[in-house]
Amino acid sequence: MKVLVVGNGGREHTLAWKLANDSAKPEIFCTPGNAGTAELGTNLAFGAGDVDGIKGWCIANQPDLVVIGPEAPLCAGLTDLLEAEGIRVFGPSGAAAELEGSKQFAKEIMKAAGVPTSAYETFTDPEAACEYVRERGAPIVIKADGLAAGKGVTVAETVDQAEAAIRDALEGNAFGDAGSRVVIEDFLIGEEASILALIDGENVVMLASSQDHKRIFEKDEGPNTGGMGAYSPASIVTESVLKKVKEEIYDRTLAELKKRGIVYKGVLYAGLMIDDGQPSVVEFNCRFGDPETQAVLARWDGDMLPAINAVIDGSLSEGLIRWKPEHSVCVVMVAGGYPGNYEKGNVIENLDEANAVADTVVFHAGTALDGDKVVTAGGRVLGITSLGKDLPDALSKAYIAVETISFKDAFYRNDIAHRELRRLENG
Ligand code: GLY
């Protein structure tokens, strides 16, 4: 059985690792992959956005399954292109992926469906947008409508910052076409958490909860990143919150999509803000989260392929998914300077030693092979992921492994899971 994983981040290494360990023992291909996926199978040369190249390879090589990791090929309709060639694909159609591809579309669906989320307005005219933020006040959130590689969101603390973000997007072309329209949303208060759910067009099965740490510096300071670490489960997501997430968020969203002739199949990530037990949607993503995937899949007990096949075949049920009772933590190591400019090509030392730490896997993100050495090849370099009998145990293993690894200017946060630790301390 041949499985192709599309993408080259930590999420894709984790998906490839989980699938490679499946009892069906599939042959793994990854495109373009990284130094971690190269150890699990064959890396191909097509970039994740090269939909024609990937389609050509699939026609010639007939994989039994293609799992698409990142949003860009999903929003570009790679699922539709491959399905038209008779290839089995895990990932939503281009129309369904618009939930991430257009913030305006996602808000319109949520508003029509009565999904809890912040109030918003959409603008293409900078003057009208600035007038709106002056009326509304700060803090306020400015989002580029389209895909902006994780850089299109500004949480403005002041009206001046909001106006600058509006002008950057609408006048300065900071995000190209993706920013030619902005969605301006009220700032939500509360605590963030992430839910990933598998959806087979009809049935929704939510995966274990997690919490991401988006800011670069400890105490959640500094610029936003793709995520500096995650842990699972996140106790802020109580049974009662989960019930609301299912009924008020997933069920309502899917029903509204269906009314518009859109069937959602794949994973739908709901970025949540939880305030006093009430979840609201901060954003939808049409893919697995990164680094949430590392933390969540580390706890998936047994095979994942049956659930993926059930998503594609429309036969998904809760019974296909079991969770290990252990807690997990993923600590992301980045290249110094990230999320701004950073060096590439620095040799990463002691990966084997870190992988030898008990209950720990080092997932690669921005890594590449240079001869027989593993070198940095991106800003997000590694996601060190550990399981433990409780959160402190998982954290202790993860940080032992992190401290074992070295590369020039390596940077990581020392306070992953700090909110959960505080909750534990406070009983
Ligand atoms: N961890 C945030 C994301 O995957 O978008």
Give the single-character DSSP code of 249. I
Tell me how long the chain is: 427
Please report which residue ranges of 232-278 form alpha helices under DSSP H: 239-244, 252-259
Does residue 397 lie in a domain region? yes
Q: Are 61 and 159 contained in the same domain?
A: no
Please count the structural domains in the chain: 3
Q: Are 220 and 316 contained in the same domain?
A: yes
Which of 44, 74, 93 terminates a domain? The answer is 93
Paired sense of beta strands 65-68 and 2-7, if any:
parallel
Chain centroid, CA 220 distance in Å:
18
Question: Can you tell me the distance from the alpha carbon of 142 to that of 129, in angstroms, rounded to the nearest whole number?
Answer: 10
Does residue 112 lie in a domain region? no
Q: Are 350 and 286 contained in the same domain?
A: yes
Q: Are 34 and 161 contained in the same domain?
A: no
What is the pLDDT tens value at each position of the chain, 427 positions in all? 999 999 999 999 999 999 999 999 999 999 999 999 999 999 999 999 999 999 999 999 999 999 999 999 999 999 999 999 999 999 999 999 999 999 999 999 999 999 999 999 999 999 999 999 999 999 999 998 888 887 788 899 999 999 999 988 888 787 777 778 899 999 999 999 999 999 999 999 999 999 999 999 999 999 889 899 999 999 999 999 999 999 999 999 999 999 999 999 999 999 999 999 999 999 999 999 999 999 999 999 999 999 999 999 999 999 999 999 999 999 999 999 999 999 999 999 999 999 999 999 999 999 999 999 999 999 999 999 999 999 999 999 999 999 999 999 999 999 999 999 999 999 7
What does the angle CA 257 – CA 260 – CA 265 come to, to the nearest 5 degrees?
40
Mutation test of ligand 1: which of 103, 283, 284, 290 has the most ligand atoms closer than 8 Å to its C-beta? Answer: 290
What's the 291 CA to ligand 1 centre distance in angstroms?
Answer: 7
Cβ-based neighbours of 286, under 8 Å, separated by 6 or more: 71, 74, 75, 91, 92, 96, 97, 99, 100, 101, 266, 267, 268, 269
Does residue 142 lie in a domain region? yes
> E strands within 253-309?
265-275, 278-285, 300-301
φ, ψ of residue 222 to 5 degrees: the values are 85, 180
What's the 224 CA to ligand 1 centre distance in angstroms?
Answer: 11
Question: What is the domain extent for residue 395?
Answer: 191-425
Q: Are 155 and 203 contained in the same domain?
A: no
For ligand 1, what atom is nearest to the CA of residue 212?
1
Yes or no: say if 381 and 407 are a contact pair by the CB < 8 Å rule: yes
What's the 111 CA to ligand 1 centre distance in angstroms?
Answer: 23
Does residue 108 lie in a domain region? no
Mapped onto helix, strand or coil, the DSSP state of residue 51 is helix
> Taken in order 78, 80, 82, 85, is the CA torsion positive or negative?
negative
